[in-house]
Amino acid sequence: MLYKATTVFHTFHAQSKQAYKWLQELKTQCPTQDPKIVEEKEEMLPGYEDVNMGSFDISEEQSASISKNFEQLRLRVRREGLMDGSMLFYIRKVLESLAIIALAVSLQMKGWYVLSALLMGLAWQQLGWLVHEFAHNQLFRDHWHNDLASYFVGNFLQGFSSGGWKEQHNIHHAATNVVGRDGDLDLMPLWATVVQDLKMADNWWLSILPYQHIYWSLMLPLLRISWLLQSIVFVHGMPQHYYKYYRERATYEQVTLGLHWVLVLAQLYFLPTMQIRLMFFAISQLTGGFLLAHVVTYNHYSVEKFP
């Protein structure tokens, strides 16, 4: 095994002394370990191998050259400070989201319920990008302060679990658009993102999938609801999680996520009728879901996938 840390390792463990310490220990404890990884290729459906699929049709020499050039670019970008987060920028973006929420509450108090709900959805979409950045450790040099920021903009204001997001999204970045590894591609039984998904569909569902391009758009607003439910399930199970990291942060996530729903229920409580409460909840949540989902659609599902 080559013990040279990869770009992915550097990216996910930047500034982590513990991670690099473990890497050195691995060199000492397993000096000759060479895992024999047998690549298993799934049998493709005849005639449809290239539908929505890309390929790594390059030689090992070309691959090594690309990796070397990318590593040089990565080091240059970091050396020139282009990856250093701007505190003023992030403060401004957080304040902008808080201002949208404040405006929504103000309009709600004046009886502009629909416009208020639409603004809440917009605020949640904007907060989604912020939790993305903080969970990627973009601003602070240590993970702890990035985690705290993600608990505030993610769990507390947005209702999305920071840890749950990392659990799924880091895998997405480690194997972006790789079929069978990137969980973001696994949308069955509702949608088939690659032809191979059709092998998992029941006969009755195969008659529905040809219309997925129609009901895809209709289902976009439900993305936020889906992520909210996934966050609740993930945070509830954090005390028993396999990884110590999540067990140690379970209380922080549970408290901040609980406070989010206290805010949501309090906002609904001050609305005059149950009908308006249901309307406000639906419009705000579905608007936030649609605004998030249309971006995810373009930068995830419209690009090529890889075997």
What pLDDT score was predicted for residue 3?
42
Q: Map out the domains of the chain as residue ranges.
A: 120-299
Per-residue pLDDT tens digits for 232-243: 999 999 999 988
Highest mean pLDDT of the ranges 43-52, 91-100, 172-181, 287-296 = 91-100
DSSP bridge partners of 306: 178
Per-residue pLDDT tens digits for 255-283: 999 999 999 999 999 999 999 999 999 99
pTM of the model: 0.81
Question: Token pair of 117, please?
Answer: 């709900």
In the block, residue with structure tokens 């416009």: 115
Residues 122, 52: Cα–Cα separation, whole Å? 32
Residues 253, 260: Cα–Cα separation, whole Å? 11
Range of weakest confidence among 8-22, 198-212, 233-247: 8-22
Distant-in-sequence, close-in-space partners of 133: CB < 8 Å, separation ≥ 6: 85, 90, 139
Kindly report the backbone phi and psi dihedral angles of residue 44, in degrees, each rounded to the nearest multiple of 5, phi listed first.
Answer: -85, 160
Read out DSSP for 56-75? ----HHHHHHHHHHHHHHHH
Q: How confident is the model at residue 1 (pLDDT cuts 50, 70, 90)?
A: very low
Per-residue pLDDT tens digits for 184-194: 778 887 888 87
| Average pLDDT taken over every residue of the chain | 84
Q: Are 83 and 246 within 8 A, CB to CB? A: no
